[in-house]
Structure 1
């Protein structure tokens, strides 16, 4: 009953923002490798390995994620290269973060909007690339076929989104956001070695599941410098249950990301042409819209 009551503290007002963040798994750009979510994951570990504090890495990551819900990869550096002066470029990004952060808890929002100093960077650990290349299993259950919705997300994308969700949800349970963030980044370390067989595969391993996961996790931890390894192991103590504020924030984030991943793919598959043309304004207002509408109508594509 206690867990059920605590689950009732999840904030529905964040759902539009969480859905927008979920799309970061599917936004890519010509001049960059991987999705935005994969790069958030890699950049976070790069900064952590270089010695940045987890709280500062969390703040930078969430700010970048919030801006990307609208701007995608149009960050201040790209805007400056395209001829936008430095001050307007930074103002565009900042205003986007301010607008996206509107539904957040006031203290969290103030912390995110505070001026952040640049983070150090180092080569990310080897497990980062492996988790980016490792697909998630999709929905599996013992005795049933696997449900795979293409394209599958990677473990790096999943961990990046759970870490982001976890920080945004932390105030609901009074959790320390940096602890949730670091644990979420690390919670699939075992999949850097173990391909994801899903729930059905895990049940098939039986008594060998726990030692195999522990050994695979230890191999990933071995790639971290001692101080960061200790901090990561400490943060990961929240993972087994939802009895602590941090555990609740993590498990709420993990559950929401898993379900929203599937929801987003089902929503895309079920979208109608009428919705895309009328609600999403695929052919949007402008001087040539009457001509465009006439072409669509003539070709039988008007909604």
Structure 2
């Protein structure tokens, strides 16, 4: 996933398939726990940060886990070991990681790959804003003067923040940005929506001159919660958020690559699903795949008029 040859800081369309696949972590669930994998990585990532784990370690664990989970779902290190995979568990994770990351920046790739042995961050206590963001839905598509376009299932703010954090790390080498600072900005950039329901662009325009003050008050409430749990982390988060109001720093540019791509790719996902055909499912994806009874399965589908 290299930058465009025309410029080291330009996005290449070749990166989009990886970003699309990662974005589906918002829609992958299992019986292990409530919520999507993206939501749970957001929550456990904040738990690790709040208890004092090094942000660089949390970044590598979360992003590495996201890359692996895109292929393995909730078959993470802990699940594989519990199922008896033993020392082979890390090998399984490494195969999934390698399948996803051939085009990543080599230095970043090596950094994330080393974190696979640590597994996902361990869940723990979090400030109230973390749970609120997991319950707070995104607005959908809004435009002043037009009705809202509601797309279901709606993503929540935890899922969006997690994906912006992950995408931002992957985009960091294109801009020479510090991936840890970009990760923290992504995880924290919607702190205000813990207490501020999302009315989208339409609501922002209707708030008018009140918008900035309302956002600031809501963000400060979350930062105060964070400061009560970990004062040093709260200051680090403030520093990570400071440049993203513009695009002047490498970290801000990497962040905005991630933010705008997740906003648009989330809507594109709904459009792609609407265009899905039986030919794609059966012919390209092999829904009825090779096996000892495939011929009989194919006959059943032909008899039913489904193939």
> Which category describes the TM-score, using the shorter chain as reference length?
over 0.9
Query: Cα offset for 1:11?
Result: 3.1
Query: Cα offset for 1:274?
Result: 0.7
Cα distance in 2 between the residues matched to 1:116 and 1:87: 13
Cα distance in 2 between the residues matched to 1:10 and 1:52: 32
| 8 A Cα contact 2:44 2:122, kept in partner | no
Q: TM-score, normalised by structure 1?
A: 0.94
- Partner of residue 283 from structure 1, selected from 264, 285, 288: 288
Which residue in 1 is equivalent to 2:299?
A: 294
Which residue in 1 is equivalent to 2:191?
A: 189
Which residue in 2 is equivalent to 1:218?
A: 220
Cα deviation digits, residues 123-180 of structure 1 (max 9, x gap): 0111111101100001101011111111110000000000000000000000111111
- Partner of residue 270 from structure 1, selected from 262, 272, 275: 275
Which residue in 2 is equivalent to 1:128?
A: 130
Cα distance in 1 between the residues matched to 2:56 and 2:13: 25
Cα distance in 2 between the residues matched to 1:261 and 1:271: 16
Where do residues 100-119 of structure 1 align in structure 2 (5 Å cutoff)? 100-115=100-115, 118=118
Q: Aligned pair in 2 of structure 1 residues 120, 21: CA closer, same or farther (>3 Å)?
A: closer
Which residue in 2 is equivalent to 1:19?
A: 20
Query: Cα offset for 1:113?
Result: 1.7
| 8 A Cα contact 1:241 1:247, kept in partner | yes
Give the secondary structure class of the aligned counterpart of 2:140.
coil
- Between 32-41 and 98-107, the greater mean CA deviation after superposition: 98-107
Give the secondary structure class of the aligned counterpart of 2:144.
coil
Where do residues 108-257 of structure 1 align in structure 2 (5 Å cutoff)? 108-115=108-115, 118=118, 122-224=124-226, 225-257=230-262
Cα distance in 2 between the residues matched to 1:138 and 1:63: 28
| 8 A Cα contact 1:47 1:120, kept in partner | yes
Runs of at least 5 residues in structure 1 that lack an aligned partner in the other structure: none
Cα distance in 2 between the residues matched to 1:113 and 1:166: 17
Cα deviation digits, residues 260-286 of structure 1 (max 9, x gap): 101111101110111111011111111
Which residue in 1 is equivalent to 2:36?
A: 35
| 8 A Cα contact 1:14 1:104, kept in partner | no
Matched positions, count: 297
Q: Aligned pair in 2 of structure 1 residues 71, 91: CA closer, same or farther (>3 Å)?
A: same
Give the secondary structure class of the aligned counterpart of 2:245.
coil
Query: Cα offset for 1:7?
Result: 9.9
Give the secondary structure class of the aligned counterpart of 1:145.
strand
| 8 A Cα contact 2:137 2:157, kept in partner | yes
| 8 A Cα contact 1:40 1:61, kept in partner | yes
- Partner of residue 263 from structure 2, selected from 240, 243, 258: 258
Cα distance in 2 between the residues matched to 1:289 and 1:21: 31
Q: Aligned pair in 2 of structure 1 residues 115, 229: CA closer, same or farther (>3 Å)?
A: closer
Runs of at least 5 residues in structure 2 that lack an aligned partner in the other structure: 1-5
